[in-house]
Amino acid sequence: MKAYCISHVKDVDGIGAGALVAAATGAEVRLSDYVTLMDDLAKVPADVDRFVLCDLGSDNANAEEFASRMGSIASHAEVTYIDHHLMSDATKRRLKRAGVTVVHDETECAAMLAYRTFKDNLPERARMIALLGAVTDYMDDSPMAKRMMELADRQFILLEATMLAYAVAKKAGEGGFPEMLVRELAKMKHPHEIPGVPALAVEQLSEMVKLGDEVKRKGKKLGTLAYMVTAQRSTGNVAKLLIGGFDVPVGVALKEQEKGWYEVSLRCTDESRIHLGKTIGKIASGLGGSGGGHRKAAGCRIPVERMGEMLDRLSASLKD
C-alpha cells in the first residue's frame, strides 16, 4: 500500500503529526500551509492507496473547494482527515459524504489525534511526539495529554518541546529543515538528538530577548489589542510578545509574505472572551481574505490595504 501525507509546515504540532503518520504507515510526507494547501491537494499522486491530511483546517472561504479536492482523492484512495481547528457541521457532512474519514476534536492537538488514530502501529516513544505537539500548541491540559504527561517526566517533555519549537522558529520558511525534522522524529529521535536542533534553539533564545525589546518599541496598541508589522519569521512569537509587552489580551503580528498580502498570526489570553479562530475567520472572509484557528491561537491572510479595517473590526469584537 502506498501512503501519502500532507501536514502543517509551520509548527511542531503539524510536523509531529506528519512524523507519526510516516512512522505508522511509511507515508511520504509533504509539508504545506494554508496558502499552498489547495495546490498541494491537487498534486497528491494518483497512485496512492492511502492519504492522510493533518493539522490544516478549512474555513468557510474555501470549504467547498476543499471538500471537492478531498473527495477527488477519496475516489481512488482511503482518506483520513485529522484536525482540531474549528470546523462547521456542514463541512464535516460534506467531507463524510465524499468518503473521507474525519478525525476531529477541538480539545486535542493534531499530533495527539494522529497518535490516537495510529496508536496500534506506533512504538511507545511515539507518545513523546504527541506530547511535543500538545505542549507547543498550548493544549497539554487536554484529557489525553494530561493522562499521558503523568506517565512522563514533565520537565523533560517541556524542555524537548521548547527546544524543538525554537529551532522551528529559527528556521521558519527555510525549505528542507522541517522535512528533515519529520524524518528524524519518525525514527523516534528526541529533539536534542536531532542534528542542529539544540544550537538553533539557543540562537533563537537570544533572538527572543532582542525581539522582546523591539516589540515594545515598534508595536502599537489599539483598544485591548496590540499589533505590529514585522519581518520576523515566527509571527506567532511576535504576537505572544505583544501581549506581554502591552499588557493586553490579544496580540496581532503581520508580515508581508507575498506582495500585497499580509500573513497574520493572532494570540490571546484567557481574559479574551472571543473564539479567536472563529472571529478572525469571519473578519478575514469579509475583507477578501481567509482565516481560522483555535480559541486562543489563529491566523489569517488579508490584502495589505485592508489591515486597518481588520484591526478595527477585531478591536470592536473584543468590546462585545
Q: Going from the N-terminus, what domains does the chain have, and what CATH number goes with each?
A: 3-198 (no CATH), 219-317 (3.10.310.40)
The answer, yes or no, to whether residue 270 has pLDDT greater than 70, is yes
In the chain, DSSP assigns E strands to 3-8, 28-32, 50-54, 78-83, 100-104, 220-222, 225-229, 250-258, 261-268, 290-293, 297-303
Closest CA to 297 of 159, 154, 71, 138: 138
How would residue 277 be classed by pLDDT, with cut points 50, 70 and 90? confident
Whether the model clears a pTM of 0.85, i.e. scores above it, the answer is: yes
What confidence score (pLDDT) does residue 148 get?
96
How does strand 50-54 pair with strand 28-32? Answer: unpaired
Q: What's the pLDDT score for residue 173? A: 67
- Answer yes or no: is pLDDT of 58 > 90: no
Across 147-174, b (16+ Cβ under 10 Å) vs e yields ebbeeeeeeebbbbbbbbbbbbbbbbee
3-state SS of 14-73 is: HHHHHHHHHHHHCCEEEEECCCCHHHHHHCCCCCCCEEEEECCCCCCCCHHHHHHHHHHH
pLDDT of residue 278: 87
Mean pLDDT of the chain: 92
Mean pLDDT of 110-139: 96
Which residues on adjacent β-strands are paired with residue 4? 28, 51
